[in-house]
Amino acid sequence: MKNNYKSEEQNEIKNFIIILVIVLVFIGVIYGFSMLFIEKDNSIYGISYQTGEVNPDMVIAGTMFNRPIDEYYILAYNNKGVEAPYYSQLAKNYISKQTDATQMYYLELNSYLNKDIYSTTESNPKAKNLEELQIKDFTLIHIKKGKIVNYIEDYNTILKMLEITNPIEAE
């Protein structure tokens, strides 16, 4: 003869399992509902995402003195300015014409990350470290072993330093 009597623990386990199954079914229904009816394209909500790019030739103020090589140039300019394409072409010409060119990094002065060193009124060509550095506009900084060797703001002097005779010449 079968024992139809169940202990109190058995009833509680049975109730627990029933509640667990109901909760899991409820979660599954909510998840399924959300997958069916919620848009995956966030642009309808005014949210858009951009994938970032890392440019190894770009530096920010905080990293300009600790590059992995001993000697390099930093070409600093406002990349939103009218002359920006011209300055960029100048740098490309320098790199393409030289067989053993010193590495050149770019510093975008109008970047939020460089706001502490960008000044629209005056520069500090005698700066020796980041705390003293103030860059006004188009500037070439020559760095050796983490120290500023040359700080050049004059366009013609920069051309001479980089040994560029025709800066607008196509590559």
**Strand boundaries in the chain, DSSP class E:** 58-59, 71-77, 103-108, 139-144, 147-152
58-161 falls under which CATH superfamily?
Glutaredoxin (3.40.30.10)
DSSP assignment letter at 114 = G
As a whole number of Å, the end-to-end CA separation of the chain is 98
pLDDT at 158: 85
**Percent share of the chain, pLDDT over 70:** 84
Q: In terms of pTM, does the model score above 0.75?
A: no
Identity of the highest mean pLDDT range in 4-13, 14-23, 51-60, 121-130:
14-23
What pLDDT shows up at residue 122? 87
Q: For 142-150, what is the mean pLDDT?
A: 90
Say if residue 17's pLDDT is above 90.
yes
79-138 per-position pLDDT tens digit: 887 888 888 888 887 877 767 778 888 888 888 888 888 888 888 888 888 888 889 888
CA–CA gap between residue 152 and residue 150 (Å, rounded): 6
**pLDDT at position 45, please?**
58
Residues contacting 117, CB < 8 A, separation 6+: 61, 109, 130, 133, 134, 135
